[in-house]
Amino acid sequence: DADVTQTPRNRITKTGKRIMLECSQTKGHDRMYWYRQDPGLGLRLIYYSFDVKDINKGEISDGYSVSRQAQAKFSLSLESAIPNQTALYFCATSDPGRGLYNEQFFGPGTRLTVL
């Protein structure tokens, strides 16, 4: 079984709809991240959480919110989806106790299309 899972894997929705992307991990990591990937723009950080009570905005948090329901679960919500939020979304985890550097492990991604 995959260590980091994301649901759904693909989603098509309409402008104005509320969407939730879910991420679960079995790696036991405290740190979790949400990224979006757009062609030519690379990976951009939306939100990150270092533990259940610690949630921080990344570089492009506008239009998004998150919830860290448990150590293993980190959800990303688009309150009112718009077409320029069409992208590939990744969840990632890391554990500072396992190494000196912030190596991250990624989920398989969610491909979101907003019409």
Q: Which residue among 5, 58, 67, 86 contacts other proteins (CB under 8 A)? A: 58
DSSP assignment of 15-57, as one string? TT--EEEEEEESS--SEEEEEEEETTTEEEEEEEEEETTEEEE
Contacts with other proteins by CB under 8 A: the residue count is 24
Phi, psi angles (nearest 5°) of residue 60: -140, 55
Residues in 63-102 that interact with other proteins by CB under 8 A: 88, 90, 92, 96, 99-102
Total residues belonging to the chain: 115
Nearer to other proteins, 1 or 99 (CB): 99
Residue 103 near other proteins by CB under 8 A:
yes
Q: What is the DSSP letter of 98?
A: G
Is residue 53 a contact point for other proteins (CB under 8 A)?
A: no
Nearer to other proteins, 54 or 79 (CB): 54
Q: Are 106 and 91 in contact, with CB atoms under 8 Å apart?
A: yes
Q: Are 44 and 27 in contact (CB under 8 A)?
A: no
* Interactions with other proteins, residue window 10-49 (CB under 8 A): 33, 40-43, 45, 48
Summarize as ranges the residues that interact with other proteins (CB under 8 A): 33, 40-43, 45, 48, 56, 58, 88, 90, 92, 96, 99-106, 108-109, 111
